[in-house]
A and B are shown apart, each in its own frame.
Chain A
């Protein structure tokens, strides 16, 4: 359940932002970017955010999750782009691998590891 610690980190940061104004801003929503290569589950993250903001100044604010696509770079054949996905893995969702789709050797992730607050929406 690392979603809970990430949801708390989001809430802490947003509260800090709101309270940096006098009077504090009313927060309407937060938009976060979560990369495809993280194991952070968007639905669980939203659930945790709603649960921990209940009866706080953030209650009713909406957490939106934007997904960042994974990209890899292969130092063997210089391929740059979407990773190879493992379709036969047990999951319904294809699993991103670090195998180069072009030459089959090891590729390095260059994007998709994000876990970032992008915007905070607030009212005057």
Chain B
């Protein structure tokens, strides 16, 4: 049972890391879209964020999975289950991260932009040299929250029968007519989140070399 849950856990880890890899950068792009002075773009992005936050992630997983077939009549291979999971997670988490980035970016005092402008920095330099490093420090606590939620949310991909840890635990429980596998899976999730929290804590400490 442990071996099966272990391999399921590896799939969960894949979902976890691939989602972060995709949604952390994409969230920044979405945040820029949201803050764009070009109204149509900003409104479109606001609509996207409201859909992502306003509907269940489980539903989004199913929509992403079924859209190619029911929408376009294209039947994807079995491997698409995993791909659909990653796509759904990335577009969902990008929306949340975008709002976190936005709150961070907007919390940086205007004087930082003004000082950068007077010193001659370009807009890109201002953002990447001056603003973004400060944003990272400010948004770490809410990002930690999202990341921990993501660990648990990976279990939602059971609706697409992706063989991650929760799907595996369910299968074992059904076969054994016992809930031991659920308890073990729960312990796995908890321990992993302990590691995540500790890592984020370390990161926060690293960023405390200055305060404002």
Q: Do A and B bind each other?
A: no
B: which residues have CB within 8 A of A? Answer: none
